[in-house]
Amino acid sequence: MRNLFSYCIPSSSSSVGHLTFGGPVPANTKFTPSKPKNQFFSSRYFVNITAVSVGGRKLDIDESIFTDSGTIIDSGTVLSKMQPGVHYRISQAFKELMKDYPLTDGYSIQDTPCYDLRGYDTIEIPKISFFFQGGVEVQIPPSGILFPIDGLEKVCLAFESIGGDEDDALTASLGTAQLRTYTVVVDAGKGRVGFAAGGCN
């Protein structure tokens, strides 16, 4: 298949991912339209996020924040970067569901909540999902929700904020941490991007 490639980023360095040019496309791939490239991001692929859920509840976010500027699928960035208003709502909802775990003092990524998780046998991590145009849902794997900064002593929510405090017009990006274990299919010929769960370990 021309103008089509796919890749899967594994959950750890000990696992194996893949980069494939052409087919086949996994049978469980769900596609969302890809927005046209523009002069500032000529080598990137844009998609439209329609909603975000934390702990199974969709957040109160105006869909136009996403659709006006689009979201880049960025295989060259680890952490996803969200518009300030989106980042704030994700962080606040996550903090509410993680209130039984101690927040760390000091280091945090742009007001992103960080936790001291030493001494816990199990950790209940709230689920986070992104919803895309066409009804596609991508549930972020646990390794893409919390990001270790200093072992278990400082573990932070794996999302960053972009731009100034009030600038929600900037383009967001989805990094590799949030798409680990998914096969991402870029079908430029048909103007779409697909996601298939369980593409690698």
Q: Would you give per-residue pLDDT tens digits along the chain (201 residues)?
A: 568 999 999 988 888 999 999 989 999 999 999 976 555 555 678 999 999 999 999 999 998 888 887 899 988 889 999 998 899 999 999 999 999 999 997 555 667 899 999 999 999 999 999 999 999 999 999 989 999 988 999 999 999 988 655 555 578 999 999 999 999 999 989 999 999 999 998
Q: Which CATH number fits domain 4-196: 3.40.1710.10, 2.40.70.10, 3.40.50.300, 2.40.50.140?
A: 2.40.70.10
Alpha carbons within 13 angstroms on the beta-carbon side of residue 10 total 10
Give the helix, strand, coil percentages of the chain, each rounded to 5. 15, 35, 50
pTM listed for this prediction: 0.89
Q: Beta strands 80-82 and 159-161: pairing type?
A: parallel
Per-domain residue ranges for the chain?
4-196
